[in-house]
Each structure stands twice: as C-alpha cells, then as structure tokens.
Chain A
Amino acid sequence: MLFRQAGIFHTDYATNRALFPLPADRWMIIILLLLALSAPFTMSSLLLSTNVLPWLVWTSAALGLNLILGWAGQFHFGYAAIMGIGAYTAVHGARNGIPWEIAVVLGGLMASVIGVVFAFAALRVKGLYLALSTLALQYVMDWVISHVPAISGGTQATLQAPGMRLLGQAVTSEIALYYVALGWCLIVTVFMLNLRRTALGRALVAVREKDFAAAVIGVHSLYYKLVAFATSSFIGGISGAILIFTFYRAATPEQFAVNVSIELLAMVIVGGLGSIIGSYFGAAFILLMPGLMNSLIAWVAQLMGAALGVEALAHIPHAVYGALIIVFLLVEPMGLGKMYNNLRNYLLVWPFGYARK
C-alpha cells in the first residue's frame, strides 16, 4: 500500500530504468533530502557538528570502500591509509597555495595512483592473501607518515589544515561546513546509485562473482579490478581530505591508523556488502553508536540510581555495543541494508502478504 506498484506502467526504457521507479521511493528521497537540507535550522548545533557531519563524511568513505569490497569483491584492509594519503596531499597542497578544490582533487588523484600501484602488486594474489597485502599498505603508510617529518608536519606530527575556500568563498561556519560534507556525500551516493546500471558496474559484479567466468564472457578481470581500486581510492582520498577540512582541521597519523581501517571495514560489513543505504546505516552504527550507548547507559544508571564508577560506565557501553554487532549480524548476516530491504519488501505487498507466496 505504501509502496504501491499497481498502476505504474513503463512505456519507455527511460522510465523503466529510472533510479527509483516507485513514487513512494521518490517521495521518501525528496523528504530525506529536505530534511538534510534543513538540518542546520532544525537540529542542535551540537548534533549537527559532532554527529551528522562526521557521519556524512564517513558514509562517503564507506561507500568508496563498498565499491571495492561490495561491488568488485576485493578485500581492502588499508582504506584508512588511502584516506590518509588523500588528506595529507590535499592539506599540503592547500598549504602551498593551491586552490582548495584543486588540492582536494589532487588528494583524490594521489590516493588513486598509490592505490593502483599497490593494487598491481596486490592483485597477483586473491582473497585472504590480498587482504593481507592491503594491510601491508596500511602499515607502510603509517610508517612513512610518522617517519617523514616533511609529510607529517614535524616531530609533533600534526599538520594544521588551512582555512577552506570554496570557489573563492571562505567556508568557516558550522552550517557551511555541513553543506560541503553533505554535497560530497550526495555526489558519491548518486555515483554509486548509477554505477549499478553501467557496464562498469555489471563488469565489477561479474568479477566479484567469479573472475574466471567473467573472463570467459569477455570481461578483463585484472583491468576491472584495477579500475575498481582506482575509483574507490579516489573516493577515499577525497573523503579523507573532506574529513580533515570540515571536521578535524588538523591531520595526525592516528586519524588514519589501522584501527580506523578496521572500523571502516566494520561499517561496510555491518551495513551490508554492496548496499548503498546500508553504508549509511553501517557508518551511523559504527561511528555514532559507542557515543550514543555511552549516554544511554549513563542515563539508565542515573534513572535506576545505580552508583556506577566512571570506569564501569566507560566499559559497559563497549560490551553492549559489541553484543549489538553480533546480534545484528546473527539476525541478518547481509547487514543493516538488507534489514531495510526486508522491511521494504514486506511493505511492497502489505497488507496482501499472501500475494508474494
């Protein structure tokens, strides 16, 4: 009823292949977009600047990782390093007087080049071996950043990001920074949505399912794997740069360390491999849940009058958060995105559930 399909007829290919053929989906997207655009005026600035903004940037990064992991089926344990390359390149570029937009794109290109160079070596192996060689990329980058003062910005290993100027305008207010993050997230989302229906997207899926079979039907698997690495690294590099310019305002090695790579991987897996809405859910879950859990447990403890020590209050949320990840993955191994899909599929025919059987 909500997702009414009756009475929708596609009379040409264009409408048939539209991104959202159902009006209900389109309405939902429009409402969500309006919510996102009006968020600076409806949400508290605390929520906007410390939760929503980083969530959008991390979502774009998770989408980039989803391209390589969910679409092309190649493990990547060094995605934070890729983001770091983009971030450091962009910050150095901007500090040396390159216009902000160009510096950020340069960051993306540099990440892309290093990502592909590494992929050349890494793609000689598959599966778990590939996972390990990408992990090596992470460690190499960690080492290079912390041992080359010219990159890290000296012994203090902090590189201040200069003020951001978009098309000649200084972007300083929280609201403006939020719109920059939102803009980048939307660009990546639209790209990923469209990737599904391009030849490239289908080739990637073919490579993911079985690369021999893909080769048999004429898909050059190495070429497409490299393209996937390049594209995904480009998105990751720019997301890293945006993260520094809109949120951290200074780049340090710890922001792109191996634990961040694992977190990104968790975002994609908890969200759902190859699911776009899942990347949004996954990023929210991994990034925001620990903080949320923290306040929730503190609130519950206060409500029940339990005098918990600060240490217990810090550790319980971690335990609950870990348990939640397990529960979600047990209930739906395909991730949060699949959960949403199940709900949607149910509502597609609701209240005539028998129609599906």
Chain B
Amino acid sequence: MKSKLLYVAASLGLALASVLSAQAQAQAQPVKFALCYDLSKAYTFISPQVSQAVRDYAQILNQKGGIEGHPIEILVQDHGNEPQRGIECYEKMKRDGAIVFDFFSTPVSKAVLPRAMKDGNVMIQAFHGRGDAVDGEVFKWIFPIGPTYWGQAVNDIQYIKTKSNNKLKGVKVAFLYIDYPFGQEPISILKTLAAREGFDLQLFPYPLPGNDQASAWTLMRRFKPDWIISWSLSNMHVVASREMKRNGIPMDKYIAVNWFNEVDLANIGADTAKGLKRNTNVVGGQGHPLIRQILKDLYDKGKGSGERKHLNDIYYNMGLAIYSSVFEGARLAIKQDGWPLTPDKMRRGMESIRNFDANGLMAPMTVTAKDHGGGGKTRIDMWDGAKWVPQTGWFSAYDDLVWEAVKKDSAEFAKSTP
C-alpha cells in the first residue's frame, strides 16, 4: 500500500517536473551563436581574448535574463585556421541551430562565405575577410562590423592632414606593410589618395613572417618620412620598433593599424613606445563600466571564462564591442519580429542598429541594408608612456573613395556569382 502510494507520488512528481521543464524550455529557448575560431594556429594572438570576452558578456547578459528572455548560448570550436575544418564547423553549427556564425580567420571566412551566402545565414566578419563585404546590397548575409582596412587607411591620412595644417602637398608618407593580402589591401586607395591630395607616398613591403624588416627600414631611413603608416600584426610591430631605434626614427611618426595590443606594447616597452599611435574603433583599458562589472561579477567570484590577465588587452574590448553589436542586433530582431528567431529576422535586426556605441565602448555605428560595416568610424590614440590618449574624436573620412573601392570589388563578386 505504502509503496504504491510512493510510486504514485513519485510519478506525479516526475510528470510535474517534466511539464515544468517543458514550459521552461518553451519560454527560454536559447539563441545560439557559433564561434568557429582558430584557437591553435595563426590567430592565437587574438582569438582567446575575443572568445573569452564573448562568453563573459554572454554570462553577464544571461544573469539579467538573456536577450529578450532568451538565454545566450555560445558554441566555441577550434578550426585551426584550416578552411576545410572551418567549413565542417559551419555545417555542424548550422545543423545545431546556430543563428550567427563567426570564423575570425581570413582564409576560413573566404572559404565559408559562398556557403553562408547560398544558405542565407548571418556571418560576422569583423576585422578580417573580404573588405568589400560591407556592401550589404551584394553581401546580404555578411556583416563586417567595424571599419574596413581601406577606411582605416584613409582615416590615417585624414589625421595626418589635420596634423599638417590641412595641407598634404609635399608631406612624406611611408606605407610599411607585410607583403601578403592583408598588407597589400590599402595600397590602391592610398595611391588614389596620394594623387588627389598630392602627398608623397612610398611603399615599404617586408616579407612574411615579418621578423626581418631590415631592408625596408634601410630604405625608410633614406626616405626620411614625416609619417609611417604600418600594416603589421603583433610581433611585427616589435621588430619595427627595434628597427626604428636602430635607424634613428622617432616613435611618434608611427601609426599602427588596429592590430596592436597590450602584449606588443609590453614587448616594445612602455617607455620606448611613448608617442606611438594606433588607429582603433574601440576604447582601450579597463575603465569602461561593462568591464568593471565583468571583473566584479565574474572574475572576483571566480566565474570568469578564462584567465584574468586577458582582460587587460584591447582585443578583449574589441570582442566585447563586436558582440555588443551582435547581441544588440539579436535583441532588435526578437523585438521587431518576435520569436522564433530566423536568419532573415536576425539579418533585419542587424540592419536596424542605429547609432549604437555600446555605452561608449566603441565608435558609434549605424548598420543599414546598404552599409553592413556600420560607418567605419575610428580614432587615433597615442601611448603617452602610461595610458592611451585619444588624439581625435570618432570620425570617418573620404567615404566616397572607400565606397568606390568597395563597389569596385563587390561588383566583381556580384558578377561572378549567379
């Protein structure tokens, strides 16, 4: 008798529990974001920080109830910078129900892009991959949030222009770059701009892997540049700083592309790097309220998604900034078109982002169906020996030239895809 009663009670309890959990599931189906990153090969100088930032921010948002009541689920997988494994990851995550895909590797993004375009899936392509993908009319599903390399290059020139009393004629600008597609990308737009503004542009390529830049800098010394725009990554900046010292070129002429972080700074030395400038669309440092909240709510309680030292790194902030916009896009999508979230709703959500700066963490961006980059605003920061000091406000210049370059390449793409 007693055992029977127990049995009934237990089964009732079970049934109730299952009903409750089913209800909970219906209420809170997760929004899935797929991060297929290169965590083991070429992009390891950035991927750990970015993926950690994304997971930290997702935790913070989930504590507050997620995106419009739906928890965020971040799926991370390594693809080792191999296109084949990136495609595998994409196909797997697609079947797992991911709504947004991010590959953070130029070779892999290039390889997955035709599939994402064909399937109609939202692909985030911030700071890597094809620059012309900001053209939302051709690349309907690709969102390269942030500035293009073309945009960064012309913003550098605009900064130099303001620094030389709005007169570029006769100013000597050296373009130092690693001789592969990443470094070669800004060349054509810089040449066009040099013809328009009349400054003296010279190119200084150095070969992969960038450890030996001696020949470029010997020529540089003879050129006596007024400014050096540098398209280099991580340790290449350190090598460049050494060569600058050797050739007696002062540090304050050096404007780095956005790929310059606190690790490189420490390797150059905080004192030596004084005067160095960097183009960025994200605010560096740990002063932002969101980062302070992450430190307090997660890392002080031992709930962080990785090592605490990764937080003092602009790439961490960059990850937060990129995914603030992505989560904002998802929020807008659910708010506008309701649950369940589909790729098409997600795309429209992303295209509804207006003047969003993640509470002052990054340059304000407005994504539209035409412009998937968000406006391409950046600013120049200078290292003063202890902290980064903004030299300008957020700005973007020569938009006509940038869009001319974008349209030229995207038209080529549009022509070749039926």
Contact = CB atoms under 8 A, between A and B. Distances in A.
A99 interface: no
Interface string B81-123: 0111101100110010000000000110011011100000000
Given A155-B188, A155-B409, A294-B77, A318 B180 contact: no
Nearest to B182: A157
Interface stretch (A115-123, A129-137, A158-166, A206-214): A158-166
A50 interface: yes
B9 to A, nearest CB: 31
A287 B409 contact: no
Given A156-B181, A252-B110, A314 B409 contact: no
Contacts of A162: 416, 418
Contacts of B418: 162-163
Given A310-B76, A318-B80, A250 B40 contact: no
Interface residues of B, number: 41
A290 interface: yes
Contacts of B78: 294, 310, 313-314, 317
Nearest to B189: A155
Contacts of A287: 84
B87 A50 contact: yes
A33 to B, nearest CB: 25
Contacts of A51: 88
Grouping DSSP codes into helix (H, G, I), strand (E, B) and loop, the B interface class, with mixed when no group exceeds half, is helix
A54 B86 CA distance: 13
A158 B417 CA distance: 12
A249 to B, nearest CB: 4
Contacts of A159: 416
Nearest to A156: B130
Nearest to B412: A154
Given A156-B181, A160-B416, A250 B111 contact: yes
B272 to A, nearest CB: 30
Interface residues of A, number: 37
Contacts of B115: 249
A146 B412 contact: no
A107 to B, nearest CB: 17
Contacts of A155: 131, 181, 184-185, 187-188, 409
B324 interface: no
Contact of B107 (A156, A255, A290, A317): A255
A199 interface: no
A313 B184 CA distance: 34
B398 interface: no
A46 interface: yes
Contacts of A315: 39-40
A3 B306 CA distance: 56
Nearest to A152: B181
B136 interface: no
B413 interface: yes
B83 A255 contact: yes
Contacts of B409: 154-156
A155 to B, nearest CB: 5
Contact of A160 (B48, B184, B413): B413
A159 B110 CA distance: 10
A290 B40 CA distance: 11
B48 A311 contact: yes
Contacts of A313: 39, 78
Interface of A: 46, 49-51, 54, 95, 146, 153-160, 162-163, 247-250, 252-255, 287, 290-291, 294, 309-311, 313-315, 317-318
Given A291-B88, A294-B77, 17 more contacts: A50-B92, A54-B84, A146-B184, A155-B409, A156-B132, A159-B416, A162-B416, A163-B418, A248-B87, A250-B110, A252-B110, A290-B80, A291-B85, A310-B51, A310-B78, A311-B48, A318-B80
- Ranked nearest first, the 9 interchain pairs of A and B with the lowest CB-CB distance are A314-B78, A314-B39, A254-B107, A50-B88, A160-B416, A249-B114, A314-B40, A157-B181, A310-B76
